[in-house]
Chains A and B, each alone.
Chain A
């Protein structure tokens, strides 16, 4: 991991078009400003982890489980959908 020390107001550039700026430091929190091209998605790490964890869960479905889900869906139909 690359480690850099920055003061409030200073920035880091990643590649040609991503900028990370330290805006404020207060107590144990750092406020960060990010600029990046619009097709670069920026998230808190927890969001990404949630999706990754859900994808890992989703891959566990097998034919039996999907058949069970399909039969259940046929029974409950559209009336009960959440």
Chain B
């Protein structure tokens, strides 16, 4: 696949091919080639960045980083919406149709927007990322559904603060 920037492909001690990614924020990472997510269309607004890797944040955290391999200074906080949003209803029929995959081979996560005040963090339910786990093909799908806003608040405001 053509890409914006080619990283050195090296072999880890275990022998599986890895991509060396040098990032100011995350240091030097040897990413297993098999774990790379391929977005044929990029993310909405980021069409040129097509390869990402998902990195754990810290033990027990529902959050992860999704780091661009094509620009290692580009990273998004992501999370499993089923952990953060009560009664979340994943758009499985659409996702399976668009990716051409079965529901059991599908992973879904959402981008998290975190302003300086984390109580105001939001998740983008309008445009979840879906992944075919067999092929690692990924796509940010856009939903035109009033129940899926782009800025769903994760932490409920305290009752006293509500108008």
Contact = CB atoms under 8 A, between A and B. Distances in A.
Given A41-B142, A65-B115, A70-B57, 17 more contacts: A47-B142, A51-B126, A51-B127, A52-B44, A55-B44, A55-B46, A55-B76, A57-B113, A65-B77, A65-B116, A69-B114, A70-B63, A73-B63, A74-B60, A80-B155, A81-B156, A82-B86
Q: DSSP majority for the B interface?
A: loop
Interface in A13-62: 38-39, 41, 43-44, 47-48, 50-62
Nearest to A69: B118
Q: DSSP majority for the A interface?
A: helix
Contact of A65 (B86, B97, B114): B114
Interface string B39-78: 0000111100000000001101111010000000011110
B119 interface: yes
B113 A58 contact: yes
